[in-house]
Chain A
Amino acid sequence: MTILVAVPDSKEGAVALAAAADEAELLDTDLVVVNLGLGPLDTSSLPPTLKVTVTKRTGKADRDPVDAVLADIEEYGATRLVIGVKRRSPVGKALLGSVSQGLLLEAPVPVLAIKIDDPHR
């Protein structure tokens, strides 16, 4: 079993990464981190005992982050996907679409969606 986490360059990304690390420790599985941002990703906060693979988007085929994550799920045989979600304005969604929505609807594996604007967390 492998857990795969999609980490955009944003607050949701950091929250998703932390939650995915907890999940992987709990289930005692390895973790694949898909860096959706364009810069390097800091994974030093992850527990050293965890087996972590970091991948990034490369080339035109990975231009759409949703496609990049779906391709990695298949490549690494991931059995669960972790993403961070937040409320977005209708204008924001219309302009840039929603990666979270795309992944929720298209991922072939169960998706664990972590809310960042949840006051109970």
Chain B
Amino acid sequence: MSHGAPITSSSGIALPLLRPGPHQRRLDLIAVVATFGGLLFGYDTGVINGALEPMKHDLGLNTVTEGLVTATLLVGAAVGAIVGGRMNDTLGRKKTLTIVAVIFFVGTVGGVIAPNLAVMLPSRIILGFAVGAASVTVPVYLAELAPTERRGTLSGRNELAIVVGQMLAFIINAIIAGVWGHHDGVWRYMLAVAALPAVCLFVGMLRMPESPRWLISKGRHDDALQVLLQVRNEDRARAEIAEVEHLAEEESESQTGGWADLSVPWIRRIVVVGCGLAMAQQLTGINSVMYYGTQLLTEAGFSASAALIANIANGVLAVAGSAICLFLVIDRMPRRQLIVRGFIATTAVHGLIVIAATVMPQGITRAYVILILCVTFVFFMQLALNVPVWVCLSELFPLQLRGFAMGLSILCMWLMNAALTFAFPIIVGLTGLQGIFSLFFVVGVISVVFLWKMLPNTSGRSLEQLEEAFAGGDFR
């Protein structure tokens, strides 16, 4: 980063440099709370991977109810993402996140004490609601409080925190199973740990200020300046108010488009591409591995306790892939190329898993081959299809349609995730690993063809240039 010269924000407003000062500590706190939001999200989605096996025996689950326990969280998350967006606008970011942290806690406790499915399923929906609401609120809140210089790296760091949260859940599950594995309700200990980040988020949020952009969108300019004075040097804070106003206007503009605009063919086309991309990302089966990795590895031939430990490899490779993507790959390869190649790679690995699962005799060699292929898949997925897909979606839609189209894509993503998560144990129960990975392979081939034909390259051009090209019928 250059020193001395004032920086120019995304809106073209020149801002004085951010200098060290007492506000620095508050900015660091923001970064910590940022990390906890992502960690919490990852931990709560990943903890079921490992808790499910002992829970199955304890609560007497079959493949259908097993799918339900996992998938109800995602249905709740889809609802939470929509309602959370509304709460953000009306209550403000801070109040929403504080409420969300309490809901997190309630959902977690419900799951921990659940004596049967009648308590477990509603608890999973409540927890899912909090997960979904947090997923739409945390990134927005952080982006609105962070200085322009740091804003770009924040959303990537959030994705990284999510996979680290999942990895931590896998590791802590393996440790708990190692220490208290002989206890009947060992899964209850695993779920209980997820209350910790929720408490941290709650305590952290109490000390955080409201988002200046939200305050300005409610016409509370003085309050917004007060917040900025806490987290910036004074000259910078006063200069930044203008930028925040511009961003609030831009955000209001991004809410313009809706269903009616889908009557225009070029708009319909990019919305179809966006929703298709979001669903294709889920249909790689990444979350089946992240939620059911332990069962999958047991099915491959590991013993229950070895599978819990082997499953940690999935978490580690997910973190490695995300980190390499963020620090090395994302800005160096055209977006379309990265995403299409990513789908080719994951689909090829799916094909290899089908072959290995079919031709290899049962035994520990087969188990290890499938483990290696599985972590290779997770690595390629996180390298090319996690953050790049989100960045691509955020660049794809014209400004006025962005709010609506992003919302629709994210809804498609959650619903596809929920449907697949529900179906996974049932399909594995009926057809084994070969069946489910054959399905992933076939859908992967379809995704590659769809994206090859439809996906425009969104990197290397300004968003305005992109919009002009799409409106003129040029979708390259």
Determine whether A49 belongs to the interface, using a CB cutoff of 8 Å to chain B: no
Residue of B nearest to A9 (CB): B264
Tell me which residues from 52 to 106 in chain A have a Cβ below 8 Å from any Cβ of chain B.
Answer: 57-60, 62-65, 92, 96-97, 99
B262 with A63: CB separation less than 8 A: no
A96 with B256: CB separation less than 8 A: no
Q: Which residues of B contact A64 (CB under 8 A)?
A: 258, 260
A38 with B253: CB separation less than 8 A: no
A97 with B260: CB separation less than 8 A: yes
A92 to chain B, nearest CB (A): 8
Residue of A nearest to B261 (CB): A38
When the two chains form the complex, which single residue of B263, B398, B404 contacts A39, counting CB atoms closer than 8 Å? Answer: B398
Tell me which residues from 240 to 290 in chain B have a Cβ below 8 Å from any Cβ of chain A.
Answer: 252-253, 255-264, 267
Q: How many residues of A contact B (CB 8 A)?
A: 18
B461 to chain A, nearest CB (A): 16
When the two chains form the complex, which single residue of A10, A60, A62, A63 contacts B263, counting CB atoms closer than 8 Å? Answer: A10
A77 to chain B, nearest CB (A): 24
When the two chains form the complex, which single residue of A8, A39, A59 contacts B253, counting CB atoms closer than 8 Å? Answer: A59
Interface centre among A8, A38, A62 (most CB of B within 10 A): A38
Determine whether B186 belongs to the interface, using a CB cutoff of 8 Å to chain A: no
Q: In the docked arrangement, what's the CA distance between A38 and B253, Å?
A: 10
B256 with A38: CB separation less than 8 A: yes
Chain A, 17-33, contact with B by CB distance < 8 Å: what is the 0/1 string? 00000000000000000
Q: In the docked arrangement, what's the CA distance between A57 and B253, Å?
A: 8
A58 with B253: CB separation less than 8 A: yes
B252 with A37: CB separation less than 8 A: no
Q: Which residues of A contact B82 (CB under 8 A)?
A: none
A38 with B257: CB separation less than 8 A: yes
A60 with B264: CB separation less than 8 A: no
Determine whether B419 belongs to the interface, using a CB cutoff of 8 Å to chain A: no
Residue of A nearest to B257 (CB): A38
Determine whether B471 belongs to the interface, using a CB cutoff of 8 Å to chain A: yes
Q: Which residues of B contact A39 (CB under 8 A)?
A: 398, 467-468, 471
Determine whether B401 belongs to the interface, using a CB cutoff of 8 Å to chain A: yes
Residue of B nearest to A62 (CB): B256
B256 with A59: CB separation less than 8 A: yes
Q: In the docked arrangement, what's the CA distance between A62 and B255, Å?
A: 9
**A interface, over-half SS:** loop
Q: Which residues of B contact A62 (CB under 8 A)?
A: 256
A63 with B264: CB separation less than 8 A: no
Interface centre among A8, A10, A63 (most CB of B within 10 A): A63
Q: In the docked arrangement, what's the CA distance between A57 and B467, Å?
A: 17
Determine whether B400 belongs to the interface, using a CB cutoff of 8 Å to chain A: yes
B260 with A38: CB separation less than 8 A: no
Q: A10-B263, A38-B400 are in contact. Are A63 and B467 (CB under 8 A)?
A: no
A16 to chain B, nearest CB (A): 15
Q: Which residues of A contact B257 (CB under 8 A)?
A: 38, 63
Q: In the docked arrangement, what's the CA distance between A10 and B263, Å?
A: 9
Residue of A nearest to B256 (CB): A57
Q: In the docked arrangement, what's the CA distance between A62 and B404, Å?
A: 13
Q: Which residues of B contact A9 (CB under 8 A)?
A: 264, 267, 471
Residue of A nearest to B259 (CB): A96
Tell me which residues from 213 to 262 in chain B have a Cβ below 8 Å from any Cβ of chain A.
Answer: 252-253, 255-262
Q: A38-B267, A38-B400, A39-B398 are in contact. Are A99 and B260 (CB under 8 A)?
A: yes
Residue of B nearest to A96 (CB): B263
A59 with B252: CB separation less than 8 A: yes
Q: In the docked arrangement, what's the CA distance between A39 and B465, Å?
A: 12
Chain A, 95-121, contact with B by CB distance < 8 Å: what is the 0/1 string? 011010000000000000000000000
A57 to chain B, nearest CB (A): 5
Q: Which residues of B contact A58 (CB under 8 A)?
A: 252-253, 256, 400
Q: Which residues of B contact A57 (CB under 8 A)?
A: 256, 400
B261 with A60: CB separation less than 8 A: no
B254 to chain A, nearest CB (A): 9
B212 to chain A, nearest CB (A): 20
| B interface residue numbers (CB < 8 A to A) | 252-253, 255-264, 267, 398, 400-401, 404, 467-468, 471
User: A59-B256, A60-B256 known; 6 other A-B pairs, CB under 8 Å?
Assistant: A39-B468, A58-B256, A63-B260, A92-B263, A97-B259, A97-B260
Nearest 5 A-B pairs (CB), nearest first?
A63-B258, A60-B255, A39-B471, A59-B252, A38-B400
**What are 23 sample pairs from A and B whose C-beta atoms fall under 8 A apart?**
A8-B264, A9-B471, A37-B264, A38-B257, A38-B261, A38-B400, A39-B468, A57-B256, A58-B252, A58-B400, A59-B253, A59-B255, A59-B256, A60-B255, A60-B256, A62-B256, A63-B255, A63-B260, A64-B260, A96-B262, A96-B263, A97-B260, A99-B260
